[in-house]
Amino acid sequence: MSVIDNAVYIDGRRKADPQSLDQALGTLRGCQHDSAHRVDDATNGEVTVDQCFCWIGMLRPGEQELNEVAAEFGLHALAVEDTVNAHQRPKMERYGETQFVVLRPARYVDPVEVIELGEVHLFIGPDFVITVRHAEEPDLAEVRKRLEDDPGLLAHGPYAVLYAVLDKVVDDYGPVLDGLQDDIDEIEVQVFDGDPGVSRRIYQLTREVIAFQRAVEPLQEMFGELRGRFSKGGDATDLELRRLMRDVIDHATRVLERTEGFRQLLTNILTVNSTLVAQRQNDKMTELTEAGIAQSEQMKRVSSWAAILFAPTLVAGIYGMNFETMPELHWASGYPFAVGLMVLLAVGLFLGFKRQGWL
């Protein structure tokens, strides 16, 4: 069986540890019968009714086990189906006298820098609480011990258990926020250091923040329903629970505000990173363009000098041919003329390239 703990409480004190669901239900009914028929002499013969309820804690129960619990406590089939399938969004739904609550606890895994989301389902009836966990975290044994150490709080009944579980879940969001803050600080350093892998990390962290926000945001609606439920009662118990719940609401509101701030900050960081990447690409393109221009200037100079040297080489090459019938081959002024022609061509080309800015 996946039942981790099974206990019956009377006026906030643990009175029985049934070994099965049948025994739990039988003990609960017997407790209620005895309480309803007990006459308190101190109240002049008035009938007193103790706060008697059972709390069953389950971890990863199978479909058959959940169906057995549903049959014993009259749980609605749709709520049981949601618990079997899991992967539900946080919510609070009412089925007759039973309240069905889904919570998404979270924890920050520091070695791998990721957020792990769990899932806790609660069935809250007039005289019973059934908690179903689909992960090891959060450890509801701590919640149970805290309540058992404070009988005055546990005497408020099943909704005291709901308050304590909500308080545990919301308090556990604190380390998650601290881990996210550290990650964002590291990402900011990476962005301005030009780390090429920072874009992927920003995207992954943004997805985690969105998933975490989806776990926290529905709590506001849930708290609104709880305030409405307590305001209808008006007795001292409801008043005390309302005061306790108000503190949890304040913490949850701060968590939601910080989460929304993280999401906006990551959006801004992604924009800044894109701007810096574009700026670095522009700087690189500018450097490449400047290098190309410098290379082009060098090519102009090399080409200009090559052309200047080519002109006299051409003249010398032509008149260096040993043919008998070449024109002006036996001309007395042929050598000075050839040399002068070579100098003239070289000077002309030099001045032409100079005027064009190639030299």
Q: Specify the pLDDT at position 55.
A: 93
Strand locations in 36-134 (E): 52-59, 91-95, 98-103, 106-109, 114-117, 120-124, 128-133
The pLDDT assigned to 237 comes to: 53
pLDDT tens per residue across span 256-308:
999 999 999 999 998 888 888 877 778 788 888 878 777 887 887 888 888 77
Tokens read off for 214? 């989806």
Please state the domain extents for the chain.
3-278, 292-356
Closest by CA to 134, choosing from 153, 119, 116, 155, is 119
Average pLDDT, the chain: 83
Task: For residues 80-88, give the mean pLDDT.
Answer: 89
pLDDT confidence of residue 231: 59
The helix (run of H) or strand (run of E) holding residue 9 is: strand 3-10
Whether 1 has a pLDDT exceeding 80, the answer reads no
CATH number 1.20.58.340 is the correct assignment for the domain at 292-356: yes
Domains 3-278 and 292-356 share a fold: no
Which residues does residue 132 pair with via DSSP β-bridges, in sequence order? 58, 121
Ranges 33-47, 165-179, 188-202, 297-311, most confident: 165-179
Model confidence at 83: pLDDT above 60? yes
What confidence score (pLDDT) does residue 133 get? 92
Topology of domain 3-278 in CATH is Beta Polymerase; domain 2 (3.30.460)
Q: What is the pLDDT of residues 215-265, one digit of tens each?
A: 999 998 888 887 776 655 544 456 778 888 888 989 999 999 999 999 999
Structure tokens at 265: 């900050």
Give tens-digit pLDDT for 22-62: 787 888 787 766 655 554 544 444 444 457 899 999 999 88
Contact (CB, 8 A) for 173 and 106: yes
Count Cβ atoms within 10 A of the Cβ of residue 240 and give its class: 0-12 exposed, 13-18 middle, 19 or more buried.
Answer: middle
pLDDT digits (tens, 9 = 90+) for 126-164: 889 999 998 888 889 999 999 999 998 898 889 999 999
Q: Residue 133 carries which side chain, given as an amino acid letter?
A: R
CB 205 within 8 A of CB 266: yes
Helices (H), the chain: 21-36, 63-73, 77-85, 140-148, 151-154, 158-193, 198-216, 218-233, 236-319, 334-356
* Residue 11, pLDDT score: 87
